[in-house]
Structure 1
Amino acid sequence: SALYILGGRIAYEFVRINVSAFLPNIQSIQSSTASSENYLTEGHFDFNRVGDYFNSKKATLAFCVEDCTATVSKIVYDTQTDTFIGFPLPLDQNGLPIAKLYSTDSFTCLENWYLNDPIAKSLGAHLIQPLSSSLENTSPYLLAVYGTNNKFKSPDVIARWGYIYRQCKAKGVRVIGYSSDCDSRY
C-alpha cells in the first residue's frame, strides 16, 4: 500500500501490470487503506496517536514542521467523515483548521458552497519529527493535512504553535522547535 499511497494509482497500476502476481489489485489496496486505523480526517490534528507513536520510537523530544504546497484543485466527497474535501478550511482561535465544516445532506447547500466559496489551491501539512539519540532513522508523524487558500496571519501561526506545544506536552512529547518555509508570516 505504500507504493499506492506515495506513487498514486497510475504508478501502482504500472508496476502491477509489469510485475504480475507481485502486487494485489487496486480494489484490495483501496479497501485496506480505507479500513486502516491510520485514516486521515482533513483538518484534524491527531494528537491522540502522537504519544503512542513517540513511545514506539522511544523518543520524547520533537521538532515540528509545517508547509503548504500547490495542488490540483477539486472537490471530493469523503464517505468516512461525510464531508466534502477541497474547500479551504477557516482557522479557529487556536490557529487550527475547523475540521468537518463542509458536511451537509442538502444539495442546495453544496451548490451554494460551489458558487460562493473558493476551492483550496494549496495543501497544508503538519508533521512532527521524533528526535532520538539512537542511530535508527525515524520517520516523521503526519499530524494533520488540509486544504487551504493560504490566507492566514502571524497570530494564527503563533496560536497554532502554542496549541501544538501544549497538546504534545500533555502526551509526554516535548516540542523543542518549529520549522517552516520562508513565508514572512512564520
Structure 2
Amino acid sequence: MIRSMKFEIEKYQFGDDGVIPNSELPVLVYRQVCTAEDKSDWFEATFIANRWTNNWRDTILSYHHFHSTTHEVLGVGQGAVRLQIGGSSGVTLTVVAGDMIVLPAGVGHCSLPGQGDYEIVGGYPDGASWDLLTGTEAERRAALPRIKGVPIPVTDPIEGIEGVLIKYWT
C-alpha cells in the first residue's frame, strides 16, 4: 500500500446553525494522503484495514445533509469536487484525488453544482449504519441526542490506532 509520507491536515469547526447541528469535533481534511495509482482501491482497502467499513463508491449528494448515527470518511478516488461543509453558512472546499475528509456525526455537507467526473469512497467506523437527515425541525429534535451519543472511533481511517484523528478527537 502506498500513502504519502507527508500530508497536510486542515481542521474546521462548525457550530449549530439552526438547521444543521454540526459538531464540537473538528472536520479533518487530509491533503494528498494517497499517492497510489488506483486511489479508489487504495482508500477502500485502507479504510477496511482500519475498521472503517460499510464502504461505497459514488458522488456526494448535491443538497445539505448530515448523519446523526455515525461519523463518515470520504476519500477522493478520482477527479475533484467542490464541497460545502458545515451547512449553508459553512466553508467551501475543493478536494482532489488523493485527499480525504473525516466528518463528525452531525456535520452538514453537500457537493456544489458544476462538478465534473469524480468518485468518492466512503466508510463508517466499524461499519456503522448511517441515516440521512436534512435538518427539519422534527429531525433535529430526534437527532441531537443521537449525535451526542456517537462514540469516538478507536481508529483513524488511514493510520489506525495512532492516527491523526485520535489526536484531534480525544
Shorter-chain TM-score: which interval? under 0.3
Q: If the length of structure 2 is used for normalisation, what is the TM-score? A: 0.26
Greater fraction strand: 2
Report which of the two has the higher share of helix. Answer: 1
Q: Which structure's CA Rg is the greater one?
A: 1
